[in-house]
Chains A and B, each alone.
Chain A
Amino acid sequence: MLFFLLMVDNLSLLFNAPILSAQLLVDGILIGAIFALVAYGMALVWGVMDIINIAQGEFVMLGGYVTFFLAAAGVHPLYTVPAAAAALYILGWALYRTVVFRVVDKDMFISILATFGISIVLQQLANELFEADVRTAESGLGSLFFADGLIVVSQIKVVAFICALVLGATLFLFLKHSRLGRAIRATAQNARAARIMGVNTDRVFATTFALNAAICGAAGSLVVMTWLVHPYLGLAYTLRAFMIVTVAGLGNMASVILASLGLGAAENFAGFVLGTEYQAAFVFSLLVAILVWRNALLSRQRKYLK
């Protein structure tokens, strides 16, 4: 009962003070940019290697710890973003060479199991090495004020947003124009044909997996500056990335970014109106609705949903 009363209150609040919507929208979009990075990495690995990487969130978490420890050692957190990406690149490469290459052309179920295993190992290792405490890194940036202080945006979120866009754009150019990028795209289209054409697909796979880890590492670095990090942080990011990729598809970067920003905003509005306990429930119901709707559209054209 209290719940419905509060919900009606919240809705009328939004109508009476439209400026709140602006605040929610801005916050949501800024959060969405971080999801976009993680989701894009997932789409890359999924598309090129046909692997759903469950350890995605753990890469984010580890990237966060790289920044936390470097910041604790006196480095300004903003400069640690490349370091986190580099460290995770190496880890991604190592994981490919030890575990992932064994499952890359196997059944998808096996690769899910393998990356699920990796995620548990990373989580527990982080807990063992870094302890279960919640950590943050202070960027020392303030907040921006708009509309007489009615909209407040913390600068670090803006930085994270810009970083996400720059990273995304760099990645896009890399895939489009570099030799290795072309090899990656060729492998994604047809690994066997690429191999026949002389592409070293094993190297492409290793690079792709490492690249994904690096993107997640950078995202994690931004997460610890904006929010916080702890060993069990990963699942939220894996789930959201998975959801975004499901909605947006694998091949299209623009739609991944749009879906991420949309998800961020939708989540924030749902949290405001329904209360935070229904935030996730709302978003995943939305996923179901979108899938059903898309399926209906496709069936009219006699296509099917992959």
Chain B
Amino acid sequence: MAKVVKTRAWAVLGAVALVLAVGGPASPKVEGDTIILGAAVSLTGKYSTNGKNTQDGYELGVKRINEMGGVRVGGKYYKIKVIYYDDESTPARGAQLAERLINQDGVKFMLGPYSSGLTKAIAPVTEKYRIPMVEGNGADRALFTQGYKYMFAVLSTSDQYLREAMNLAAEQAQKQGKDPKTLKVAMAFENDPFSMDVRDGVLEDVKRLGMKIVIDDKLPPEINDMAATLTKVKAVKPDILVVSGHARGATMAVRQVSDMKVDVPMLAVTHCDSAKVAETLGKAAEYALCASQWDRSLSYKDRWFGMAEEYAKVFEKEFRYDPPYQAAESTAALLVFVDAFERAGSFDIEKVREAIAATDLMTFYGPVKFDATGKNIAKPMVLYQVQDGKYKVVAPTKWAAAKLIHPIPPWSKR
């Protein structure tokens, strides 16, 4: 008897496995007049702050679209809903949850998680099941060399982060009648995939512009001190110091450049907005250049939110904090889906994928247009400069609201 039960249990399991392997129902998840999307986001763990920004960004987009009546597909209006799971900031969990969203919840359209690491874990899953994913928070270059066909990113890839700074330095040199080839570059990058990508981008520009590298330090992730690197900077007097190491690297660089009174005409870092250097470090942060994906003062405009500034106001009203770019790019990812649904005129997965691939859209976050690898090639990075304790956009010059102060005055004159 027991044996019979056992065999039956195996049979049931086998059947379940078969259904799972086939991939569940092939039609998209539409409940009544609601289209369901899915996302794994980091609500706990080390990315919890940015994970929440990501979710808030999606939610604001959902709310706005639904308020405006929903997505118009095939002459009918559909509301949007997103199912979220907490990936605990761990890639393995993210991949599991993606499987769960696709197989158990029947989700056919995915929004990206927060961070390159999580996106790297989830993209193979969505690719396997041929589920389109639009993401706004995975900037790692390596994501776009895998030949993924179903993944699209609205943000600029990480190698773009500090390239604008190199161009700006060259521009300024020419203005002063100097040859950009005479410029000396000091680099300090954290030894992690993101910052190494940023470094690759800078290296390409250094080569293109013919500049000279005088320092090339890689900061180990566990070290909280840049004194050795900065002593070297003082000695070799470079024209540009570029630093990338997430919020920690930004805080460390800005604080110690000021503590050690290191004079350098241009200091460019990533993540100084998320590190809040202007707010917490005060005068020490003055004149630092910060790379960013987006800013509310930019003159981009769309039909859902209007200007970037209007988006920021709606966001502030809803969530009671200033929207960081992580939230803005998440909202933009949702807008790409909305636009693609409407152009595809159906929820057919392949048609939607083709519509996404053909996206040519202006959003409050910036222009979106994908190349064959799925990355957004239309949007430039933004450079802030801290001026009087405020982040002022100084590059690219076309969208900028303020003027660059260059070179940075020496510490003895501040």
Give 8 closest A-B pairs by Cβ, nearest first: A271-B228, A277-B218, A154-B259, A27-B227, A236-B222, A134-B247, A272-B228, A276-B217
User: Given the complex of chains A and B, what is the CA–CA distance between A230 and B224 in angstroms?
Assistant: 10
Q: Find out whether the CB atom of A277 lies under 8 angstroms from the CB atom of B220.
A: yes
Tell me if B49 counts as interface (CB < 8 A to partner A). yes
User: Given the complex of chains A and B, what is the CA–CA distance between A228 and B252 in angstroms?
Assistant: 7
CB distance from A114 to the nearest CB of B (A): 23
CB distance from B24 to the nearest CB of A (A): 35
CB distance from B258 to the nearest CB of A (A): 9
Tell me if A149 counts as interface (CB < 8 A to partner B). yes
Residues B363-414 near A (CB distance < 8 A): 412
Name the CB-closest residue of B to A268.
Answer: B228
User: Given the complex of chains A and B, what is the CA–CA distance between A131 and B261 in angstroms?
Assistant: 31
- A116-138 contact mask (Cβ, 8 Å, vs B): 1 or 0: 00000000000110011111101
Pairs across A and B, CB under 8 Å, 8 listed: A2-B216, A6-B215, A133-B274, A134-B250, A138-B281, A149-B412, A277-B217, A280-B223
Q: Which of A23, A267, A275 contacts B216 (CB 8 A)?
A: A275
Name the CB-closest residue of B to A269.
Answer: B228
Q: Find out whether the CB atom of A276 lies under 8 angstroms from the CB atom of B216.
A: no
Tell me if B188 counts as interface (CB < 8 A to partner A). yes
Name the CB-closest residue of B to A132.
Answer: B46
CB distance from A266 to the nearest CB of B (A): 11
Q: Find out whether the CB atom of B227 lies under 8 angstroms from the CB atom of A268.
A: yes
CB distance from B115 to the nearest CB of A (A): 11
Name the CB-closest residue of B to A272.
Answer: B228
Tell me if B168 counts as interface (CB < 8 A to partner A). no
- A137-171 contact mask (Cβ, 8 Å, vs B): 1 or 0: 01000010100010010101100000000000000
Tell me if B20 counts as interface (CB < 8 A to partner A). no
User: Given the complex of chains A and B, what is the CA–CA distance between A31 and B248 in angstroms?
Assistant: 18
User: Given the complex of chains A and B, what is the CA–CA distance between A231 and B89 in angstroms?
Assistant: 14
Of B28-36, B229-237, B348-356, the segment with at least 4 beta carbons within 8 Å of chain A is B229-237
- A161-195 contact mask (Cβ, 8 Å, vs B): 1 or 0: 00000000000000000000000000000000000
Q: Find out whether the CB atom of B218 lies under 8 angstroms from the CB atom of A13.
A: no
Residues in B neighbouring A28, C-beta threshold 8 A? 227
CB distance from B210 to the nearest CB of A (A): 16
CB distance from A74 to the nearest CB of B (A): 15
User: Given the complex of chains A and B, what is the CA–CA distance between A147 and B361 in angstroms?
Assistant: 59
Tell me if B90 counts as interface (CB < 8 A to partner A). no
Q: Which of B47, B48, B231 contacts A20 (CB 8 A)?
A: B231
Residues A254-301 near B (CB distance < 8 A): 267-272, 275-277, 279-280
Tell me if A37 counts as interface (CB < 8 A to partner B). no
Residues B213-267 near A (CB distance < 8 A): 213-220, 222-229, 231-232, 234-236, 247-248, 250-252, 255, 259-261
Q: Find out whether the CB atom of A136 lies under 8 angstroms from the CB atom of B46.
A: no
Residues in A neighbouring B46, C-beta threshold 8 A? 127, 132, 231-232
Max chain A Cβ within 10 angstroms of own Cβ: one of B251, B259, B281: B259
- B268-289 contact mask (Cβ, 8 Å, vs A): 1 or 0: 0000001110001110000000
Residues in A neighbouring B225, C-beta threshold 8 A? 31, 227
Q: Find out whether the CB atom of A236 lies under 8 angstroms from the CB atom of B247.
A: no
Q: Which of A31, A132, A279 contacts B48 (CB 8 A)?
A: A132
Tell me if A83 counts as interface (CB < 8 A to partner B). no
Number of interface residues of B (CB under 8 A): 45
Q: Find out whether the CB atom of B248 lies under 8 angstroms from the CB atom of A276.
A: no
Name the CB-closest residue of A to B46.
Answer: A132
Tell me if A197 counts as interface (CB < 8 A to partner B). no
User: Given the complex of chains A and B, what is the CA–CA distance between A17 and B328 in angstroms?
Assistant: 49
Binding site for A on B (CB under 8 A): 44-49, 188, 191, 213-220, 222-229, 231-232, 234-236, 247-248, 250-252, 255, 259-261, 274-276, 280-282, 412
Name the CB-closest residue of A to B222.
Answer: A236
Residues in B neighbouring A31, C-beta threshold 8 A? 225, 227
CB distance from B251 to the nearest CB of A (A): 5
Q: Find out whether the CB atom of B251 lies under 8 angstroms from the CB atom of A134.
A: yes
Residues A197-218 near B (CB distance < 8 A): none
CB distance from B52 to the nearest CB of A (A): 9
Name the CB-closest residue of B to A141.
Answer: B259
Tell me if A235 counts as interface (CB < 8 A to partner B). yes
User: Given the complex of chains A and B, what is the CA–CA distance between A130 and B234 in angstroms?
Assistant: 35
CB contact under 8 A between A227 and B255, given known A132-B49, A154-B260? yes
Q: Which of B48, B215, B248, B280 contacts A131 (CB 8 A)?
A: B48
Q: Find out whether the CB atom of B248 lies under 8 angstroms from the CB atom of A228.
A: yes
Q: Find out whether the CB atom of A152 lies under 8 angstroms from the CB atom of B260.
A: yes
Tell me if A70 counts as interface (CB < 8 A to partner B). no
Q: Which of B216, B220, B280 contacts A279 (CB 8 A)?
A: B220
Q: Find out whether the CB atom of A228 lies under 8 angstroms from the CB atom of B255.
A: yes
CB distance from A160 to the nearest CB of B (A): 12
Residues in A neighbouring B217, C-beta threshold 8 A? 271, 275-277
CB contact under 8 A between A131 and B49, given known A2-B216, A31-B225, A280-B220? yes
Q: Find out whether the CB atom of B213 lies under 8 angstroms from the CB atom of A2.
A: yes
CB distance from A59 to the nearest CB of B (A): 16
User: Given the complex of chains A and B, what is the CA–CA distance between A61 and B137 in angstroms?
Assistant: 29
Name the CB-closest residue of B to A2.
Answer: B216
Residues A26-80 near B (CB distance < 8 A): 27-28, 31
Tell me if A24 counts as interface (CB < 8 A to partner B). yes
Q: Find out whether the CB atom of B224 lies under 8 angstroms from the CB atom of A228.
A: yes
Tell me if A87 counts as interface (CB < 8 A to partner B). no
User: Given the complex of chains A and B, what is the CA–CA distance between A285 and B23 in angstroms?
Assistant: 52
User: Given the complex of chains A and B, what is the CA–CA distance between A223 and B252 in angstroms?
Assistant: 12
Q: Which of B44, B191, B213, B412 contacts A277 (CB 8 A)?
A: B191
Residues in A neighbouring B191, C-beta threshold 8 A? 277
CB contact under 8 A between A276 and B49, given known A228-B248, A228-B252? no
Name the CB-closest residue of B to A68.
Answer: B280
Residues in A neighbouring B48, C-beta threshold 8 A? 127-128, 131-132
Q: Find out whether the CB atom of A236 lies under 8 angstroms from the CB atom of B223.
A: yes
Tell me if A10 counts as interface (CB < 8 A to partner B). yes
Residues in B neighbouring A270, C-beta threshold 8 A? 228
Residues in A neighbouring B251, C-beta threshold 8 A? 134, 136, 228
Name the CB-closest residue of B to A228.
Answer: B251
Max chain A Cβ within 10 angstroms of own Cβ: one of B213, B227, B247, B412: B227
User: Given the complex of chains A and B, what is the CA–CA distance between A27 and B251 in angstroms?
Assistant: 18
